Amino acid sequence: MMQIPFTKTVRSAILLGALAASAVQAAPASQEVETLVQRFTAAQSGFDPATLKSLTADNYVEISPLGEVDPREKMLSFYVKKDDKPRPAIGVDELSTRVLGDSAVTIARVSYSMMAGGQSRTFSLRSVFVAAKQGKEWKLVSVQYTPIRQAAAANP
Does any domain span residue 23?
A: no
Per-residue model confidence as pLDDT tens digits over 33-78:
999 999 999 999 999 999 999 999 999 999 999 999 999 999 999 9
Does any domain span residue 21?
A: no
Give the list of residues 6+ apart from residue 96 with CB closer than 8 angstroms, or none: 106, 107, 108
* pLDDT, greater one: 107 or 113: 107
Q: Which residue range forms the structural domain that includes residue 80? A: 30-147
CA distances from 118 to 7, 90, 114, 115 (A): 74, 19, 10, 6
pLDDT, residue 86, reads 77
CATH number at residue 102: 3.10.450.50
Does any domain span residue 133?
A: yes
Q: Would you tell me how many other CB atoms lie within 10 Å of the CB of residue 25?
A: 10
Does any domain span residue 134?
A: yes
Round to the nearest angstrom and report the end-to-end CA distance of the chain.
Answer: 75
β-bridge partners, 28: none
Residue 20 pLDDT > 60: no
Does any domain span residue 156?
A: no
Give this prediction's pTM: 0.77
44: exposed, middle or buried (Cβ count in 10 Å: 0-12, 13-18, 19+)? buried
Per-position DSSP letters for 116-153, written without gaps between them: ETTEEEEEEEEEEEEEEEETTEEEEEEEEEEEPPPPPP
- Domains held by the chain: number: 1
Does any domain span residue 16?
A: no
Q: Is residue 18 very low, low, confident or very high in pLDDT (cuts 50, 70, 90)?
A: very low
Does any domain span residue 153?
A: no
Does any domain span residue 15?
A: no
The percentage of residues in the chain with a pLDDT greater than 90, rounded to a whole number, is: 62
